[in-house]
Structure 1
Amino acid sequence: MGERCVVVAHESRALTDALASRTIRSYAAVGDSFTEGVGDPGPDGTFVGWADRLAVLLDDRAPEDTFQYANLAVRGKLLDQIVEDQIPRAVELAPDLVTFVAGGNDIIRPGTDPDDVAERFEKAVAALAGAAGTVLLATGFDTRDVAVLKHLRGKIATYNMHIRAIADRYGCPVLDLWSLRSIQDRRAWDGDRLHLAAEGHTRVALRAAQALGIEVPADPEQAWPLLPPRGTFEVRRDDIHWAREFLVPWIGRRLRGESSGDRVQAKGFLDPHEIKLQLESAS
């Protein structure tokens, strides 16, 4: 077992080193609300998110005025919708890098089979791998401390193992969100408890850059400041507020067959310099 761990670690390091030697001049982000950046609004109200923040880091490393970035993600989309609407566009762009994070909205639906979702996911990876220089995949989050999703932890873990197996087959680096402990802190999450807040997206962007072999300006696992313990009354009050403001409307949309992304267009091509200015003005 120990020898196997050494071999796997060596292979992972070799992949990271190979990626670090490449200059990424073009990037397309494919996915759902996570990649669109829901929970991380900029000064103008437009969501930023980890993918846009990663684009800024990549632009800083590319020769001046050579980097191109497109965010194709749309909130609420299921895997098949992403495959139909976004994958062909990403293949057409044939960028140096594609980040492909999808299937989470399928996994949280009752009755879905992670094996089936993974099979469809792999077909999309195969299409992307034939067009893009590098395809970065990501695992799902550890939902141990997310009350409404805790019961799905085993299902998500199964899907994660499929993603890692697919990554091995296609030589894809993996953004491991399950092991990113810093985002298990409630301050990493937006008030809806389903999407990351700005600081959570920032830490994911840093970890994504690390998965690509890029040196980052901060540690994504940097410890949070200590908080005083919360009392039972405060916790219950927050839970009631969350259920009223977020959980009930979310359940209502699902019962009506509505999606949060029904009338949303992808952000499309973005200028990383403009993203950087937005982030600086908000800090």
Structure 2
Amino acid sequence: MTVNAYLRYVALGDSQTEGLGDGDDVHGLRGCADRLAEQIARDSPDVRYANLAIRGRLAGQVRAEQLAPALALRPDLATVVAGVNDLLRPRVDLDEVAGHLEAMYAALTAQGALVVTLTFPDMGRIAPLARPVAHRVFALNDRVREAARRHGVVVVEASQHPVMTDPRLWSADRLHASPLGHARIAAAVADALGLPGSDDSWTLPLPPDAEAPHGLRAVAAELRWAGSFLGPWLARRVRGRSSGDGRRAKRPALLPVTTLADHGERPPNGRLLD
């Protein structure tokens, strides 16, 4: 499929696809999906783009809430990225999560869409306190690859490149990409699609970071992160709350990419941690 065939791009997922970490809820979110749509539009100005993603959603919720609207838009290109929120729950059935993802792959590809997904980087390298769930990340990545192979889904192997765990690619909460991280993710998908002007430069390491914390400074940074982000996140889980409660998709209709300057709807303020 050539870039000129991408006339309807629909993004499904959670906070990463919504764009958290790249902009804010006051002035609008950008994010990797918006950035990818912008790159497609450079050579296909007639492309229309919808973003159905909502922060905090589990894979099953993405399937239940977003798949039918996505199919109704009849995309020829779709990105499906979900599952991280499931991995962070105390208990998770990885086969069930993968089943929800595969159901979305199957439905979208059966309708003729080219579907793109990605593997997740090792969260333990981004937030050392998240190391206990690292094995879940690896196991889900394996299931994603298997399901994608069965349905001809393009897999961006973000997990295979060390740069994707560079702290500078992640926001202060360490769960959402920073603007630079969102740009790298968009570049990775563009490279996988072979878009004009894309290449594998997204895999290259960043220059050395002279300000990276070490020793006691690194321990102190972990404790600050736990108090500022992990604690409130766990409190919401105990209360059965999600940062996505009451949220709507920021861009539920296929619109020209030129409207991205408005960043779609501006939902109420909320913390960026799912």
TM-score interval, smaller chain: 0.7 to 0.9
**Aligned: 1:246 with 2:226:** no
**How far, CA to CA, are the matches of 1:177 and 1:216 in structure 2?**
19
TM-superposed deviation, 1:42: 6.0
Partners of 2:28 and 2:262 within 8 A in 1: no
Contact 1:142 1:177 in 2 (8 A): no
1:235 matched to 2:215: no
SS in 1 for 2:20: coil
Structure 1 residues 217 and 124: CA distance shift in structure 2, 3 A: closer
The equivalent of 1:128 in structure 2 is 108
What secondary structure sits across from 2:35 in the alignment?
helix
| CA distance 1:240–1:152, change in 2 (3 Å) | closer
* Structure 1 contact 56–276 (Cα < 8 Å) conserved: no
- Pick aligned residue for 1:89 from 69, 77, 87: 69
Kindly provide the amino acid, as one letter, of the partner of residue 6 in structure 2: I
Q: What is the Cα deviation at residue 147 of structure 1?
A: 1.5
| Number of the residue aligned with 1:53 | 35
Matches within 5 A, 1:211-230: 211-216=192-197, 219-228=201-210, 230=213
1:273 matched to 2:258? The reply is yes
* Separation of aligned partners in 1, 2:242 and 2:197: 35
| Structure number with larger C-alpha Rg | 1
Does the alignment pair 1:41 with 2:23? yes
Structure-2 change in CA distance of 1:110 and 1:67 (3 Å): same
Q: Give the secondary structure class of the aligned counterpart of 1:30.
A: strand
Question: Equivalent residue of 2:29, what SS?
Answer: coil
CA distance in 2, matches of 1:57, 1:122: 27
Q: TM-score, normalised by structure 1?
A: 0.84
1:69 counterpart = 2:34: no
Residue in 1 that maps onto 2:135: 154
Q: Share of identical aligned residues, percent?
A: 34
Query: Distance in 1 between the 2:205 and 2:84 partners?
Result: 27
Separation in 2, partners of 1:222, 1:43: 31
CA offset at residue 177 of structure 1? Answer: 1.8
C-alpha distance after superposition, 1:193-216 (max 9, x if no partner)? 111100000000000111112244
Q: Alpha carbon RMSD of aligned pairs, Å?
A: 2.1
Letter matched to residue 225 of structure 1 = P
Moved more, 219-228 or 73-82: 219-228
Cα 1:263–1:277 shift into 2, 3 Å = closer
Aligned equivalent of 2:270: none
Deviation at 1:59, TM superposition (A): 0.8
The alpha-carbon deviation at position 143 of structure 1 amounts to 2.1
How many Å apart are 1:271 and its aligned residue? 4.0
SS of the equivalent of 2:111 reads coil
| 1:171 aligned residue (152, 170, 187) | 152
Letter in 2 for 1:248: G
What is the CA–CA distance in structure 1 between the aligned matches of 2:124 and 2:89, rounded to whole Å? 17
State the distance in 2 between where 1:260 and 1:238 align. 24
Is the contact between residue 91 and residue 132 of structure 1 (CA under 8 Å) also seen in structure 2? no
1:204 aligned to 2:199?
no
CA contact (8 A) 2:3 2:40 kept: no
- Greater shift in the superposed pair: 78-87 or 36-45: 36-45
Give CA deviations for 1:236-267 in whole Å, capped at 9, x if unaligned: 33222212211110010011000010022111
